[in-house]
Structure 1
Amino acid sequence: MQLSLLILLTTQVVLPAFFLLWLWLPRPRDRLGWAMRVLYGACYFAFIAVIGRWDFLSSALAIVLPIVFVALAAVSYMPVRDRPWNSAASAIRTHGFTAAMAIFFLALAARALSGYGYQDTAVDLAFPFAAGTYYVGQGGSATSINYHHTDQSQRYALDIVALNGFGARAKGLMPKDLADYVIYGHEVTSPCTGVAISTHDGVDDNRISQTNTGEPAGNHIILACGTARILLAHLRKGSIAVSGGELVEQGEPLGRVGNSGNSSEPHLHMHAYLGGTLDYSTGQGLPMTFDGRFLVRGSTVTLP
């Protein structure tokens, strides 16, 4: 099993199950012990709700699991409500580690939440897909929710996948067939009216978990939308429907999502930048908004 998948299952399945079970077993000796378990669990659920990749399992779990935790925490108070507030000789010695870990995860959640805003002037665009439900796997202005943020030109880049009726991005956790990924083959539409200043085609799709670092963007299109440049990357070979220098209208079909370039599974990579012109790896990254909405990891967009 891949390390990233093992980490995901540990952080989003095993540890949530532990915190739910820990509310009950072993039963807390006093109400302070119960309160510290609730605090620790609440901080962890806050952290994982913000940074988790819930599209691997179901995007609904990001909401359902915290609700279940709150409900079970309330019920778990009943067996300890008549116990003393604190029966430990030293509350700090007994509960200090739990309190420290709660603060640790709360700080991580706060750091991730700092990526929900931006300071630079944003370019407002149309969402580059038609009907469906879409999920942002990477996005925001903090590295904990957007690993692109360390790159100057990609500071506000988005990685977008599509969701099925269960809120998952694919049939299974890591299927080998590209067609099992909901986003694969989806039509990409122009997010603006502008000029396709550069297109590149002819790069084969990668097998799942393999990447092509020699051609990072794979099959891609660069649009000039006013002063901003927009890169749409990892498109399917042979699907690009416009030529370099061609005027495109907002909503016009441009190509289809593939898995070409530095991409381990099908998704659309999108980022905006100033300067750099045809070199998408240079320039100053720009925030993107869609109908005024700044998308971050975990954001969903549903289009009728």
Structure 2
Amino acid sequence: MPNELDSPVVVDFPLRGEGWLAVTTPAARIPSHGVDALGQRYAYDFLMVDERPGEYFFPGSGLGGALLGVRTRDCYAWGAPIHAPFAGEVVAALDGMPERQWIHPVREVVRQVVHGATFAPSRLMSILGNHVVLRSGGLFAGLVHLAPGTLTVAVGQSVRSGDVLGAVGHTGNSTSPHLHFQLMDAADPLVAQGVPCAFRSYEVQRHGAWSAVTNGIPGRHERLRFAGDGVGGADRV
């Protein structure tokens, strides 16, 4: 039986720097977020962490963060530039939604569950937060939860692969600053179907060394960094 990920669309990795984890990935399960809604069957969540084992996305102890919380801007991913994964046209761009300035992990998880259980189409923007949708032919990329005031593009604008679109934030239905990334077959997540996605070039840290990966689908908890300059296309393997 063919695997759903056998023929993904290959795009460029949308982040730079190292320490990114695919904490949600179709390599671990499909649908990656547990549901097919909003075109997110094959979506990724990329979180930046430090060298400690686990998912330490902010300085300090995990217990301290759980009990006292942490400032949004102190999280490693916050403010990281987000780059266009292919050359195309901006078909949606929302900025200005407020960002929660303090993260209490337990509260954030409860908030996410409540939002999912009570979702209605009229509340879509409160789920996505600040975001950009790009189009290349019949392919669309959604980049979600951007920090307010960081979008550098507008609807109708053409971008090249690698152009900066905005910065990682904590808006919408987010548990901490991270990038939610997905490919879709339509611009509107309410009607879109997810499209399987691989990344053209990145590196994975294994046993203290970085190994190059080509046309890969990041596994859960693989430590990633960007490799290459991007070539601008969106191609099937």
- For 2:75 and 2:137, the matched residues in 1 are separated by 33
State the alpha-carbon separation in 2 of the partners of residues 141 and 283 from structure 1: 21
* Cα distance in 2 between the residues matched to 1:259 and 1:286: 25
Q: Which has the higher helix share?
A: 1
Q: Any idea what the Cα deviations from partners look like across 1:217-253, whole Å, max 9, x if unmatched? A: 1000000023211000000000000000100011111
* 2-structure distance, mates of 1:195, 1:139: 26
Q: What TM-score comes out, normalization by structure 2 length? A: 0.71
One-letter identity of the residue aligned with 2:81: E
- CA–CA separation in structure 1 for the residues paired with 2:70 and 2:223: 25
User: Aligned equivalents of 2:10 and 2:30: distance in 1?
Assistant: 24
Residue from 168, 172, 176 that aligns with 1:261: 172
User: Do the aligned partners of 1:161 and 1:169 also contact (CA within 8 Å) in 2?
Assistant: yes
1:60-101, CA deviations, whole angstroms, 9 ceiling, x for partnerless residues? xxxxxxxxxxxxxxxxxxxxxxxxxxxxxxxxxxxxxxxxxx
CA 1:145/1:284 → structure 2, altered by over 3 Å: closer, same or farther?
closer
**Contact residue 27 and residue 217 of structure 2 kept, 8 A:** no
Structure 2: which 5+ residue stretches go unaligned? 116-122, 201-214, 228-237
Percent of paired sites with the same residue? 25
Indicate the residue corresponding to 2:70 in structure 1. 176
Query: TM-score scaled by structure 1?
Result: 0.56
Q: After TM superposition, give the deviation of residue 143 of structure 1 in Å.
A: 4.5
1:119 and 1:251 map into 2 onto residues whose CA distance is 24
> What secondary structure, in the 3-state scheme, does the structure 2 residue paired with 1:179 have?
helix
Partner residue of 2:12? 126
RMSD, aligned CA: 2.3
- 2:218 aligns with 295
Report what 1:157 is aligned to: 43
**Matched length:** 186
Q: Secondary structure at the match of 1:147?
A: coil
| Deviations 1:132-161, CA, capped at 9 Å, x for gaps | 221011111664893244436111000101
| Structure whose alpha-carbon radius of gyration is higher | 1
Q: Secondary structure at the match of 2:79?
A: coil
Between Structure 1 and Structure 2, the one with more strand by share is 2
- Higher relative CO (CA 8 A, sep ≥ 6), structure 1 or 2? 2
Q: Which residue of 2 aligns with 1:218?
A: 129
Deviation string, structure 1 residues 87-138 (Cα, Å, up to 9, x no partner): xxxxxxxxxxxxxxxxxxxxxxxxxxxxxx6346421111111222210111
Quick check: 2:32–2:40 contact (8 Å CA) kept in 1? no
SS of residue matched to 1:239: coil
Q: Name which of 13, 23, 42 aligns with 1:137.
A: 23
Task: Indicate conservation of the 8 Å contact 2:13/2:85, yes or no.
Answer: yes
CA contact (8 A) 1:148 1:154 kept: no
